[in-house]
Structure 1
Amino acid sequence: MQTTSPLLIGRENDLDSLRTAVRESRTGSTRTVVVSGEAGIGKTRLVAEFLDHVPSDSIVLRGQCIDLDRDAPPYAPIVAPLRALVAELGEAAILEATGSAASLSRHALAILLPELGETDVPESQRRGGPDRLYDAVATVLENVARTRPLVLVIEDLHWADQATLGLLRFLLRVVEESRILFVLTFRSDELGRGHPLRAWLPELDRNRRVSRLELPRLNRRQVRQLSTALLGTPLDAYDLGVVFQRTDGVPFFIEEILGCDFETVESFPDTLRDILLARYETLSEPTQRILRLIAAGGARVEHELLADVSDATPDAIDDAAREAVTARVLVVDDTAYSFRHALVREAIHDELLPGERMRFHTCYAQALEDRQGAPSVDSTAISYHWMAAHNVRAAFTASLTAMAQARASFANSTAARMGERAIELWEQVPDAEALADRTRVELLAETSYILRNAGESERAIALIDEAIGASSPSDADIYAKLLRDKASFLANIGHTGSIELLREALTVLEGRPRSVLRANVLGELAARLMLEALFDEAVATADSAYAEAEEVGSRPRMSVAANIRGISRLSLGEIDSGLADLALAGELAEGNESARLRYWVNESDAMSLLGRFEEAIRIAEAGAERARQRGVERTSGAMLMLNVIQPLFSLGESRRANEMLDRALELDPPIGFSAHLQRMKLQATVWSGDAALAEKLLRGWRAPLSLQLRIDAQSRLGLGAVAGEIALARGNVAEAWREVSVILAPEHRTFPAHDLPVLAIAARVLGCARASGVDLRAGDGSGAGTGTGAEGGLDEIERRLREALALVSGWPTAGAYVALFEAELGGPDRAGSDCALWAAAVQATVAPIAPAHLEPYARYRHAEALASAGDRSGARLRANEARVAAERIDMGLIVDRVDDLERRVGLVRIAGGRDSGGGATATAPDEIALPAVRSVEDDLTERERQVLTLIAQGLSNRQIAEQLFISAKTASVHVSNILRKTNTSSRTEAAYLARSFEAVRVVESRP
């Protein structure tokens, strides 16, 4: 009988999907197919069948994730395909494919492929993060694919280390228009709670270039087909039922159960373990021993390594391997042996006796240590084998080596796990400090720092707390560093306490000689004070940091201190001195990349806040390019990209800004950097006119965005402003006030450039509340509702808003915001009806230093005020100006409002005679013939059709008058005319008839 079915049964559609994906990828449109399903379901068989028919000009690369109990060497499933690519094309071709930044890319690639040389990776890149490495891999794949199409298969992602997942996430986001097909497989039944792959799957589902294939179990008919293909004849109904019941329709189990020589179906194995071991148990004892030895080595073991760890002769190894291959337990994979299925390897590994387990794993650990330094050897595997062999001392030293290796390759999760393992073993190793060449406190601090870089800040804080508890303030330098690190970790997750920890660190260093450490702590304290809008304290602290750094000759720390002092002085209104400090920071930063990037971030931000948008773009673009070259595109680079995006929007270059914003978000920056980009995305979305999407995004992002609110005044104000705009766009005035009332919160401190937009929106909310009668006093948390009666409360709110405005009205860009504020609250109703104030606001918003989105809004509100005053020709003119201004910058929000205004005022003909916000249903009464309905509708004037639409929405005469900017008496006349012309006796009948009109239009529009 066949041991493997010659036919692919039950997977025909899945195979077609893969073939379609490869065809599409070959046209230059990157595709990814993710194949999932439980163990034994046929993922590997499906992929193998697909690869057998890939066009011959394609390069097929395969990588396999390794099951070593969470100790998989980082990037292992990526390294193997890259080595295969080097073997296919040659080292010279790969180095040529690194592109224009060949030297930097070669450094990065050497992290994964040391055989390329250039293994001495610069310290700046090690600090910078994995971006350079990721970019180098993407560049090589893209450039190779220009010559020959690529198919990259990565199997068993459920075992992937975090570094591998991070690199794959990057590749699937940024590689868009290349002749590359990625095929990824994973076991869906292995994804327990907290598995990192679970968090990635929703992102994959949102990617339009990714398709998912979930392989189901075979049904009874398909089991019959598979058994017939294996046996050559069909099973009878009873035997088929036994096979179906024992295997649950899992193809691998069916092949295993039918591939063994059992006399009757009743003797088929009952348990999964018995099925998996059925073939193994038919083999000779020497072969079984070799298989147990291979199982201890992992899913794939090189023949040369097997020869080193085995005490059998070469001939005996060959004989055992041949028997296992013939029995379909092992498969030969180039120079290595792999189990036919990982489930078999797991079952055989469980057969190891305690003595065998220790001996076999010891042999592997020793053999790998002897090869240490070879490109294919990773100390993570050595640590795993020593742990499995219960050799604590050897596992300790191997874990420390593995930690260093993983950290050098930016595999922070693996490095942290190895560091934590060494910490756990510390007490069991008598000479641990000598072996580690560091104290336990130093190892705790180092591991906590790596955990922070791995995104596990909560765990990092737990370890740093342990280090602080094991330390003493008498060891001032170490203790102060620990406090400084904890302050940084807390800030990363939006927790308060950083300022207090930094002050405690300064107390510990009190009386000590001047030092770079003290300058560093002072500088970071100044930065935290600045972010909290404590500008006076920030300036004084930055002064001290500058003096300390100058005394010890640290120009980088002098630069940082001048930088923070400059931004703080700027925010205090000391524009000239603030700009002078920023210029000084730039000079002092020369030669130090970290200080230079920090300068670029704050200098470009300052220019944008001052309304010098083109200068801001020039500075930020230079910084963003340097950040990309240095490999910190996801951190400092993300901030610099934001500092390009914001002034682009301010100049009205919305299309370019949106494209760049989407690219920046695709980099998936850490929350401290992504929060600003997400707020900008929310703002851009609501400006575009899609308030529903903006609201949806806000719901999804609210939790991570809120992390920044406790430690960053800019984030509090920024979120309040955009969330308030979204609520207003959705018509929820009370919710809008809850968002923008942050400006009146007791803890708020003046931050001029960021206060002004919030104040303008708050005035708009207040005007809307007055016009609609909404009470803003309840639940806003501002303490503003102290007046008696609703209007008394609103007056008190206005008084406090004006007080806040007075504090920031001297800011260079205040003119436009002050004019908008006054216009929002102008007119007899103090709700924005004064035409002259809106005309002034228009003039203020066309100033070069005013953000571009303010002008269309001001023009629209001016038109609305003119319409309310009865100046229809003026309203028509201003509405058209608002439309032109809005369309020029793709501001759909204002275009839609102008459309609505024109409909309500009757400035243009309404297509179909219905307001876009109407809720009428399209159900025509059966007794009214279509021509008759159309005849009745044709008797109505355009204005009467508008009124009829509003009647159908349930509006009263007064509400109709407000909507159409006419008097209530005129509305009443229109209603009477409608009832007479339509021969209806009530508003209810008229509303019913309006729905009939809509139904007629629906029917007539059908093909």
Structure 2
Amino acid sequence: MRAVVSPSLVGRQDDLEALHDAYADSAAGSSRAVLVGGEAGIGKTRLVDEFLRTLPEDAIVLRGQSIDLDRDAPPYAPILSVLRSLAQEVGEQALFAASGPAGDALALLLPDLSLSASMTEAPVRGSAERLYDAVAEVLENVAAVRPVVLVIEDLHWVDQASLGLLRFLVRVIEHSRLLIVLTFRSDELGRGSALRAWLPELDRNRRVTRLELARLDRRQVREMATAILDGPPDEEELAQVYLRTDGVPFFVEELVCCSGVQSLDGFPETLRDILLARYDQLADATQRMLRLIAAGGVRVEHELLVAVCDESPDAIDAAASEAIAGNVLVVDDTAYAFRHALVREAIHDQLLPGERVRFHTRYAQALLEHTGAGAADGTAVSYHWMAAHNVREAFIASVAAFQQARASFAYAAAANMGERAIELWDQVADAEELAGRTKVQLLHDTSYVLRNAGESERAIALIDDAIALCEPDDVQVYALLLRNKASYLANIGQTGSIELLREALVVLDGEPRSVLRANVLGELAARLMLLARFEEAMEMADGAFAEATAVDNKPRMSVASNIRGFSRLAGGDIEAGLADLALAGELAIGNDSARLRYWVNMSDALHLVGRYEEAVRTAEEGAERARQRGVERTSGAVLLSNVISPLYALGQTARADEMLDRALELDSPIGFSAPLRRMKVQAVLWSGDRTQAERLLRDWRGPLRQQQRMDAQLVLSLALVSGELALARGETAEAWREVAVLLDPEHRSFPAYDLPLIALAARVLGAARVTGTALPGAGGDATSADELERDVRSAQAVAQRWPTAPAYSAIVDAELGGPRGTGTDPALWERAVEAVHDPIAPARLAPYTAFRLAEALANAGDRAGARTWAQASREWAEAIGLGLIVDSVTELERRVGAVGGEHRGDAPVDAASIDNLLTERERQVLDLIAHGLSNRAIAEELFISTKTASVHVSNILRKTGATTRTEAAYLAHNAAR
């Protein structure tokens, strides 16, 4: 029996260099992460150990170990180890100072530290993301002083809370001297594994390197055996080692070390025999202690071992020493750990039934006695009581663990413990007394944490059980259950919320005025508003406001005023709507939830009426508050979409694109990410990448279609991008089917979203006339283009009062102009160009209308004019990143010839020709040029935008051949004589 492992690292030089390269990048200030995967025994930990051994002395190394307790891994277990090590390294005071304003959230994780008690005297605000921010702040601030290497091992066992935190750290920490190294067993990632779902995101992250460790080949196995034996092995025996281990380094080491490759008769026959070879050679007392340690997990603190072991301290030390000498255990700071988790698993399988009950009972009792019932890790205690088959104690521990995990925002762990308590409920006689709540309340509370854990389907199943158990005369509880189920359904894009909320109102009928009734009325108003049922929404919002006023609840008054205001505005009463929204903001002061809802709807309203810069500022303020409050993935995602939309409207495409990609990385539930996904498809299309836009829409269409059943904005905006994509493919009939939602009898007017779709419908009609494509009417039968145009014009007339209507109406007129109604009238496109230069028109309309004007001029035979406007369109499109328009311009220029006017390089025309060359508007502009007015002054004089004035000046110079404004003024002066 040899007590050594391979003295050299074999077959991993490239992987080791990759780790050193990642460290060099991180030490230079660019955060990196390395994911080390491979099957059990492949050498992940050995590789990491070798890497850490060679790091500079100033590097802070923090190691965390995921815990293998089936589904009961304690929340944040590896993170707790890391933070405690960091507290020892930098000092407790410095640790909390580095966590910034979220130190109270961090203190929840570290109740054993002396400063924690004073920091958590008041309830901790926020949610998991606030805790994540605290940990990120700590790591970034410490890494500003010294490089930090954070290692988390065995990620395949990691609890959901830790995984969520690690995902956050990898995503948000970009410019810091931090290297994160994660190891996991790639052969243990099941279909439902959360880590498996995370891997594609990691693979897309340019700051993440993924290493997949391969098995050793025969030459490398020989090299390892030679290093262990300090000499070459027998080739026949080496062949047996290679055959039985298949090149897995840990098994190679165990087989070579145990047999010495001296005799084939000494080879263990099975994998189990290989894993237990060292264990089998130890004394009975040592084996018994190893079985006891195995019941506690991969790593057990010495103090805990003393508490659960009935041997004397000397006997424990003797057994531990033998196990360490035999290379079964290693010392890990103040704990004992198995040299490899596979060995622990094999030894744990040796436990007799009686030993399992006794050992796990001892661990449960020791954890409670060692830390106190209130401080013990409830999930670990619950695990041990379950393994010991003590149902009553397991129930008590599960309820305690539920409370602990919920308080630290570890919602997945809380849900697991809550569901266990529910399963055990009927097996415990006094369950309600022990739990301190009814079963209905436990079902409700567990469904709530399931929803927060992203498991809305399971949340709905539990709340259905709660509704079935709840007595109908328990009015407040029953109505609350209905209200919450409505919320859960909406989160996953399922219908039924409105009916549930109406049922809750019936249940509450006749009850005294209450906050709950105000809440139900407000949420019903919100659902109706999203469906563009604005009149009904206002009625419900009025009721919610009256109810909230009666119970003096300002947050609910704010929500009611908010929904009423947006409904009024969306329905066309803009000033009254904005006033209601402003009131909502005033009433929301001091309540984050109501204030976030105010920021969402106010920023959206400002964007829709064309006040883009105000919309950006308002949404940014709300998004920052959402981040601070820890709801970045929910309300924060909506607010980010409300920042991004007006940025696109302003033409700030690069900034919008960057923010959009970062917002999508939050991986928010579909109820919050739908606008972001729709915008991404549209942004990719506008950039000119039609193939990628098609792929994204194909991948996301299912969840988007589901969500749009309860969101009229999404219905209309998704129809817009789907229609644009179909038209880009040349599928005119398909494009019409998308935009025809406007003509659906069930369609409710929503002018802000109707107008862009009306303009696209007009464009599709023009394209259908050009190609002779038959289009279906409302009944599905082929309908004449003239009849469909009348329907489009009717929708246009309904939306005329909206602020952006003049710009879109000018486009509609141009799209349907010309002799055949195919959009070929240059004069109408000139009017459209001028109309879209209004500051409240989205920036993308300017290059589009300029391009269409160029097309119309080319069609009319004015090649010079077509080239000029094509160039203007190209410049405007390139300035805001509209590759789709640039590509169209390129194709048009190919057809009409190179850029340039017919007078370019020639002498200026004489004064007598000016009247024939210029339009009436251009003659007005030329007259003002002659009076010395600037472009801005011309714009003010003629009530047009400065950009439009600039375009007119450029046209005048082109048509007259003048090279300067002075020369053009001279020509104007002569023409007037």
- When the two structures are superposed, what TM-score results if normalisation uses the length of structure 1? 0.87
Report 1:696-735 matches (<5 A).
696-735=695-734
Tell me the CA shift for residue 53 of structure 1: 0.7
Q: Is the 8 A contact 2:558 2:587 kept in 1?
A: yes
Aligned equivalent of 2:81: 80
Helix, strand or coil: the match of 2:437?
coil
Tell me the CA shift for residue 123 of structure 1: 8.0
Q: Is the 8 A contact 2:522 2:544 kept in 1?
A: yes
Distance in 1, Cα, partners of 2:299 & 2:405: 21
Q: In terms of mean alpha carbon deviation, does 385-394 or 792-801 score higher? A: 792-801
Aligned equivalent of 2:864: 873
Tell me the CA shift for residue 201 of structure 1: 0.6
Deviations 1:277-328 (A, max 9, x none): 1110110000001000100011100001100110000000000000000000
Q: Is the 8 A contact 2:33 2:180 kept in 1?
A: yes
Distance in 1, Cα, partners of 2:122 & 2:607: 33
- The letter for the 2-side match of 1:200 is W
Deviations 1:696-742 (A, max 9, x none): 22223223322311111111111111222233334443443333233
Aligned equivalent of 2:916: none
Helix, strand or coil: the match of 1:428?
coil
Tell me the CA shift for residue 50 of structure 1: 1.0
Q: Pick one of 139, 161, 164 that aligns with 1:163.
A: 161
Distance in 1, Cα, partners of 2:693 & 2:602: 30
Report 1:90-129 matches (<5 A).
90-98=91-99, 102=100, 104-114=101-111, 115=113, 116-117=115-116, 121=120, 126=125, 128-129=126-127
Distance in 2, Cα, partners of 1:310 & 1:886: 75
Q: In terms of mean alpha carbon deviation, does 865-874 or 470-479 score higher? A: 470-479
Q: Is the 8 A contact 2:150 2:181 kept in 1?
A: yes
Helix, strand or coil: the match of 1:707?
helix
Deviations 1:758-779 (A, max 9, x none): 12122222222222233343xx
Deviations 1:819-878 (A, max 9, x none): 111211211221211111111111111111111111110111011100110011211221
Distance in 2, Cα, partners of 1:377 & 1:438: 21
Helix, strand or coil: the match of 1:710?
helix
Aligned equivalent of 1:882: 873
Tell me the CA shift for residue 261 of structure 1: 4.3
Aligned equivalent of 1:212: 210
Tell me the CA shift for residue 34 of structure 1: 0.7
Aligned equivalent of 2:682: 683
Tell me the CA shift for residue 466 of structure 1: 0.6
Aligned equivalent of 1:752: 751
- The letter for the 1-side match of 2:802 is W
Q: Pick one of 828, 836, 840 that aligns with 2:819.
A: 828
Helix, strand or coil: the match of 1:72?
coil
Distance in 2, Cα, partners of 1:120 & 1:520: 33
Distance in 2, Cα, partners of 1:730 & 1:319: 78
Q: In terms of mean alpha carbon deviation, does 636-645 or 443-452 score higher? A: 636-645
Tell me the CA shift for residue 370 of structure 1: 1.3
Distance in 2, Cα, partners of 1:57 & 1:716: 56
Aligned equivalent of 2:11: 10
Aligned equivalent of 1:783: 778
Q: In terms of mean alpha carbon deviation, does 612-621 or 742-751 score higher? A: 742-751
Tell me the CA shift for residue 684 of structure 1: 2.1
Deviations 1:326-376 (A, max 9, x none): 000000011100000001101111111111111111111011111335998
Helix, strand or coil: the match of 1:708?
helix
Aligned equivalent of 1:805: 796
When residues 118 and 760 of structure 1 are mapped into structure 2, their CA distance, relative to the original with a 3 A threshold, is: farther
Report 1:148-547 matches (<5 A).
148-261=146-259, 264-372=263-371, 377-547=376-546
Distance in 2, Cα, partners of 1:97 & 1:185: 27
Helix, strand or coil: the match of 1:907?
coil
Aligned equivalent of 1:967: none
Distance in 1, Cα, partners of 2:589 & 2:178: 41
- The letter for the 2-side match of 1:786 is D
- The letter for the 2-side match of 1:357 is R
Deviations 1:592-622 (A, max 9, x none): 1111111111111111111111221222222
Tell me the CA shift for residue 141 of structure 1: 1.0
Aligned equivalent of 1:983: none
1:600 lines up with 2:594 in the alignment? no
Deviations 1:86-145 (A, max 9, x none): 1111123223323xxx2x32112112222241576598855x321111111112111211
Aligned equivalent of 1:974: none
Helix, strand or coil: the match of 1:260?
helix
Tell me the CA shift for residue 879 of structure 1: 1.5
1:844 lines up with 2:835 in the alignment? yes
Aligned equivalent of 1:39: 40
1:629 lines up with 2:628 in the alignment? yes
Count how many residue pairs are aligned between Structure 1 and Structure 2: 896
Aligned equivalent of 2:130: 132
Tell me the CA shift for residue 260 of structure 1: 1.7
Aligned equivalent of 1:27: 28
Q: Is the 8 A contact 2:156 2:185 kept in 1?
A: yes
Q: In terms of mean alpha carbon deviation, does 573-582 or 382-391 score higher? A: 573-582
Distance in 1, Cα, partners of 2:852 & 2:626: 42
Tell me the CA shift for residue 251 of structure 1: 0.9
Deviations 1:69-95 (A, max 9, x none): 111111111121111111111123223
Q: Is the 8 A contact 1:30 1:209 kept in 2?
A: yes
Q: Is the 8 A contact 2:97 2:103 kept in 1?
A: no
When residues 370 and 379 of structure 1 are mapped into structure 2, their CA distance, relative to the original with a 3 A threshold, is: same
Aligned equivalent of 1:567: 566
Distance in 2, Cα, partners of 1:709 & 1:535: 17
Tell me the CA shift for residue 439 of structure 1: 0.4
Aligned-residue identity in percent: 66
Aligned equivalent of 1:944: none
Tell me the CA shift for residue 266 of structure 1: 3.3
Q: Is the 8 A contact 2:823 2:856 kept in 1?
A: yes
Q: Is the 8 A contact 1:743 1:755 kept in 2?
A: yes
- Runs of at least 5 residues in structure 1 that lack an aligned partner in the other structure: 910-1007
When residues 120 and 794 of structure 1 are mapped into structure 2, their CA distance, relative to the original with a 3 A threshold, is: farther
Aligned equivalent of 2:810: 819
Aligned equivalent of 1:938: none
Aligned equivalent of 1:918: none
Q: Is the 8 A contact 1:724 1:739 kept in 2?
A: yes
Q: Is the 8 A contact 1:158 1:190 kept in 2?
A: yes
1:71 lines up with 2:72 in the alignment? yes
Deviations 1:206-259 (A, max 9, x none): 011111111111112211111121122323332122111211111111111222
Q: Is the 8 A contact 1:784 1:793 kept in 2?
A: no
Distance in 1, Cα, partners of 2:190 & 2:612: 49
Helix, strand or coil: the match of 2:69?
coil
Q: Is the 8 A contact 2:3 2:327 kept in 1?
A: no
**CA RMSD, aligned part only?**
1.8
Q: Is the 8 A contact 2:521 2:541 kept in 1?
A: yes
